[in-house]
Amino acid sequence: MDIDSVGTFTMCHEALKYLKRGGIGRGISSGGTILNISATLHYTASWYQIHVSAAKAAVDSITRSLALEWGTDYDIRVNGIAPGPIEGTTGLSKLVPDEAQNKIEEYLPLYKLGEKRDIAMAALYLTSDAETKIS
């Protein structure tokens, strides 16, 4: 809880001090972007993961609330990425033994584990300027 939920709130709060002043290359009245990374583990129940599920649910709630409040007050975009199982990560190796990884893919929407690059590309997209996306 301390690392995920309290840490996320603390970092967002510290970023606010800078972003509400405009940030690099931004006008006084426009903010910036905050991107929080959560997980999907808490969307359903998982064995022995109550601490992770509670912490990630808190991160999602913080993200939604800050998007509402800071988007309105300071023109700061607050988004979140909630990836499912990502291959080659410590989290996956702790939750799913190697012999079960092929079986878990049958239950995933695309029938495969995510890749670290998937998260990186989503982060780049969500943090790029709207003008760049339109051009």
User: pLDDT tens digits for 28-63?
Assistant: 556 789 999 999 989 988 888 899 999 999 999 999
**pTM for the full predicted model:** 0.81
The answer to whether 12 and 78 are in contact (CB under 8 A) is: yes
Residues whose CB is less than 8 angstroms from the CB of residue 68 and which lie 6 or more positions away in sequence, other chains included = none
Domain ranges of the chain: 3-131
Q: Give the burial string for 8-21 (b: 16+ CB within 10 Å, else e).
A: bbeebeebbeebbe
Q: What is the CA radius of gyration of the chain?
A: 17
Residue whose structure tokens are 């510290």: 14
Q: Token pair for residue 120? A: 């990186």
pLDDT at 26: 57
Catalytic residues: 38, 56
* Residue 73 burial class via C-beta count within 10 angstroms: exposed 0-12, middle 13-18, buried 19 and up: exposed
- C-alpha neighbours within 13 Å on the C-beta side of residue 3: 4
Between CA 27 and CA 25 the distance in angstroms is 7
Which residues of the chain register pLDDT less than 50? Answer: 134-135
Query: Does 3.40.50.720 match the CATH number of domain 3-131?
Result: yes
